[in-house]
Structure 1
């Protein structure tokens, strides 16, 4: 998570979004590449679906009885509960803008669906909560290595 945030900082600055991270220690068993993709998708979406002057906060902490918790919170447009639930569906995009150079969509609506699949493959949970003043709070909890009995989770 720390590496992803460091790499995303220039894009966040270009977008006028303040990106902060509070990354503690947490050990999970799983596929390093998939877990990195999970964090990358969340941070990229949080920056992309924000506004100049907005914020993205990323935190990681371990709760021994519950697992490792990753929270990505961003400011942005107000979302309804239904919209927050639907953004996890494949190909569902709330933002239908097109990029200026290629007239391609700003995204394909797969980022959070991929995140949800990775969470499920690692026996974790995902909760997306729309924030009252706009934006979204996504909380992912993954079992710690100790909770997995030292074995990688199976799907």
Structure 2
């Protein structure tokens, strides 16, 4: 039986490929999901890939991951900089967490430099575009294998 990883995506990521491609690239979220699923298969993992624009839905999914996933990859998008609720849910999830961002948040506006997620993440991948999700999956696979 393969281990499941939740890949959770926050607000506006459903607009990838359309919204500010000079920042976020031309890949759609479906393109990313396909590549992550293929990489997961190579690693002997399965992925449960989800997106929502609703903060509370992300919290519910994080809580679900506590019993249904071996780890979480999360791109909280704008909630990165605002959500204590995500911080608390991830802290309570009791599974390894990798935070991922398509752009280098530290090279952007100052308000994007602070993350409420980073302190509870095992690792952070920023600035590699869509490929960052695959890097996050590789890192998470190593953590899972050690446990």
| TM-score normalised by structure 1 residue count | 0.31
State which structure, 1 or 2, has the greater radius of gyration over its C-alpha atoms.
1
| TM-score normalised by structure 2 residue count | 0.32
Name the structure where strand makes up a greater proportion of residues. 1
Name the structure where helix makes up a greater proportion of residues. 2
